[in-house]
Structure 1
Amino acid sequence: MQSSKNITIIGTGAYGTVLANVLTDNGHNVIMHGIENSQVNDINDNHINSAFFRDLIINENIKATNDFPVAIEKAEVVILSVPTFALDSALDNILKYGKRKMSIINIAKGLDEENLDLLSNKIIKKLENKNVMKNFGALYGPSVAIEVILRKPTCIMSCSKDKVFADFIANLFSNEYFIVKSTTDIAGCEVSAALKNVIAIASGILQGYSASDNARASLITIGNAEIYKFAKVFGAEMTTFMNFATLGDLILTCSSFKSRNFSLGMAIAENNSAATALKYHKKTVEGVASAKVAFKLMEKYKIDTPLFEIMYKILYNNLNPSNLINSFFKFATVV
């Protein structure tokens, strides 16, 4: 285990809280920055984050603040744990208040819709040559938040083009219940982390229509193959699509009732309409936005991914979701 580091987590959401718990278990000094006073106070005063985990106790050494300069003042490592729509604001604050070079680790899952690019490229372009970023990496993999809080065994991937930094991240987080392996294929892991959520919505639709386990297994296989077609555009390696951040996370998200994307898919089938399901779905579901970016990538790079195409039409063109079942076996040609 590494010597103690000063770590700032930007965001007080579920997964940021999970990672704060892991890192403080490992003896690091963790401060979280949040914009919700109730969550900040909950963490400081009660050692819980009841908005996400009810009365489950988290490590009492975790600190929280809504004062960004205070949060980042002593940071050696900064973890970006905000939704993709809040990423620009977080980066602006780092540029404004950062006083030294820090290691940046992204855990936000998504793609850069504006530039049809990787989030990692967006982050690097914004922070490089500004004297605030020492190195950059990311963390992805199958890790349902509630299970990690309960310290259930979990294996994920640290990613960076710099192998030394990827190993640094792995060592930073790894302990007896949270195992992290490293890779330099950040593109493959990042694209899969974003697009697997679209496949999870499709899997939820199958579940909602009482499709078979056979169908879900086929869907996961087809989905993994189609995601690789997107990732290949960004230089990803095929072998990456057998690791925890790709195949592992895809299997989990497509089969767990704890998955927001899977749950949305079930609601779409129940309502027989994506528009109706989304109207009443309060939680952020990353796969909806990712389907839109995927469709734009399909058009730009002429990528043949029929499963993603039909999911886009279900989510944005009001196509009846039963078409996923009716057209299912046509997708098998992509494998």
Structure 2
Amino acid sequence: MSKIIIIGAGAMGTAFAFPCVDRNHDTTIIGTHLEDKFIDELKNNNNLHPALKMNVPKSINISKFEKFDSILKSKADLLVLAISSKGIEWVAEQLHKVYKDLELPSLLMLTKGLSLYENKYELLVDKLGRLLYSKGIKKITVSAVAGPCLAAGLANKVHSSVVIANKDIKVAKKISELLNTNYYHTSYSDDLAGVEVCAAIKNIFSMAVGASKGLCSNNATKEIKEKNYLNTASALIKQSINEMEIFTEYLKGKKVTVSGLAGLGDLYVSSAGGRNSKMGSYLGEGMTFSQAKNTEMKNITVEGADLIFEIGKRIKEDFNEKQLPIMIAMIDAILEDKKLDIRWENFS
């Protein structure tokens, strides 16, 4: 039995605790400073998690932020970060406060992201490592998990497969073996860059595949499009994989990773009905990003769009529409707030 601490009481952080306790690990969820009220309400409602729509087992310890320091000092074997990408600076500071004079446990990030630092692409795992190192924490081991695993499915213990990645394959294998159950199937990889790049950029391509109904024909009726868009979706998926391979290799990841769980697997799930796919459907119908966001998805996070705002301009400096026709079309549609126009003639 190992001791696992999960920072973040959202849907995925909570769902991740299920396979942990099913492996008989001592599992604790510690909420962020923004989740105190949420945790009070959850406990007052028989541990009913509103996002998962199910009761969290009593075997999973759930604590408010006030116990953050004492819980983290209890010598965890694995520290899981289930916070938003915007909370990386915050969590780095909190970890520094606790572990400045202690050994930092092995970290596993559920959060995916890609940003720019000094005008260079930076993975979220690298950003966390940089922030911790700058605060004086020198011994840092950060792994990542990616793959087609929706929180509700995991909490309901449906068969789900993910990949654990670390530059040291032995570390990745150890964490994989720690978490594997008869429904949470874990593999491992030393391609940390490839896994993280795929996990981030698949959100952009999910929007494109989500646009397939609207893009499948300029002349067909809505009824015909509803029944005959799969040819178009397949073409978009195939081209998306090509472009993900190009971009992943550019960021020093392995091409083969794109055809695995972090790439093709996650793209499939995201395209089948997530937030990014939903935004894509509106873009495919001819709406601009601002129209769709303000009228249909006002308070909903669209990760693919957020990523484009973060790195879209830099991508256009490094690539052209002949190399990445889908990616460039999505970037233009969102940054310039214009109708989506994909150059099909540039598909490879």
Normalised by the length of structure 2, the TM-score is 0.86
CA distance in 2 between partners of 1:62 and 1:92 (Å): 26
Equivalences for 1:29-108 in 2 at 5 Å?
29-34=26-31, 35-45=34-44, 46-50=46-50, 52-54=51-53, 56-64=54-62, 65-67=64-66, 68-74=68-74, 75-98=76-99, 99-108=102-111
Q: Tell me the distance in 2 between the aligned counterparts of 1:184 and 1:312.
A: 30
- 1:311 is displaced (CA, Å) by 0.3
2:229 is aligned with 1:231: no
Give the C-alpha shift of residue 270 in structure 1: 4.9
After superposition, give the CA deviation of every residue in 1:261-313 in whole Å (9 maximum; x if it has no partner): 11222234457221011124212221112223442342443463121111011
Aligned CA distance change for structure 1 residues 25 and 47 (closer, same or farther; 3 Å): farther
Conserved? CA contact 1:9–1:81, under 8 Å? yes
Distance across 2 between alignment mates of 1:95 and 1:147: 34
1:1-335 correspondence runs (5 A): 4-34=1-31, 35-45=34-44, 46-50=46-50, 52-54=51-53, 56-64=54-62, 65-67=64-66, 68-74=68-74, 75-98=76-99, 99-115=102-118, 116-128=121-133, 130-131=136-137, 133-208=139-214, 210=225, 212-254=229-271, 256-257=272-273, 259-270=274-285, 272-280=287-295, 281=297, 282-302=299-319, 304-321=323-340, 323-324=341-342, 327=343, 329-333=344-348
Amino acid at match of 1:216: A
> Is the contact between residue 42 and residue 49 of structure 1 (CA under 8 Å) also seen in structure 2?
no
Stretch deviating more after TM superposition (115-124 or 178-187): 115-124
Contact 1:268 1:274 in 2 (8 A): yes
Aligned residue for 1:53, secondary structure, equals coil
Larger mean Cα displacement after TM superposition, 160-169 or 280-289: 280-289
Contact map agreement 2:212 2:230 (CA 8 A) in 1: no
Asked whether the equivalents of residues 24 and 59 of structure 1 are also in contact (C-alpha less than 8 Å), the reply is: no
Q: Deviations over 1:69-126 (max 9, x none)?
A: 1342223321111111111111111111223321011111110234421112112222
- What is the CA–CA distance in structure 1 between the aligned matches of 2:300 and 2:86, rounded to whole Å? 14
Give the secondary-structure state (helix, strand or coil) at the position aligned to 1:60: coil
d(CA) in 1 for partners of 2:318, 2:160: 35
Paired with 1:331 and 1:60, the residues of 2 have a C-alpha distance of 55
In the alignment, structure 2 segments of 5+ residues that lack a partner are 216-224
- State the one-letter code of the partner of 2:159: P
Aligned-partner residue type, residue 189 of structure 2: T
Determine the C-alpha separation between the residues in 2 that align with 1:309 and 1:66: 42
Structure 2: distance between partners of 1:103 and 1:15: 19
**Cα distance change of structure 1 residues 214 and 332 upon mapping to structure 2, 3 Å threshold:** same
Q: Distance in 2 between matches of 1:19 and 1:42?
A: 20
CA distance in 2, matches of 1:61, 1:270: 47
Gaps of 5+ in 1: none
Range with greater deviation from structure 2 (201-210 or 183-192): 201-210
**In 2, Cα distance between the equivalents of 1:60 and 1:270?**
46
Give how far 1:133 is off.
4.7
Q: Is the 8 A contact 1:48 1:58 kept in 2?
A: yes
Question: How far apart are 1:38 and its partner, in Å?
Answer: 3.4
Contact 2:129 2:142 in 1 (8 A): yes
Native 8 Å contact 2:176 2:186 kept in 1: yes
Q: Aligned in 2, Cα 1:273/1:300: closer, same or farther, shift over 3 Å?
A: closer
- 1:40 is paired with a residue whose SS is helix
Q: Percent identity?
A: 22
In the alignment, residue 19 of structure 1 is paired with which amino acid? F
Max Rg structure: 2
Contact 1:40–1:66 (CA under 8 A) maintained in structure 2: no
Contact 2:286 2:339 in 1 (8 A): no
Distance 2:294 2:203 in 1: 19
One-letter code aligned to 2:73: E
The 1:192–1:72 alpha-carbon spacing in structure 2 relative to 1, beyond 3 Å, is same
Cα distance between partner residues in 1 of 2:138 and 2:6: 16
Q: Contact 1:195 / 1:294 at 8 angstroms: preserved in 2?
A: no
- The code of the aligned residue for 1:244 comes to L
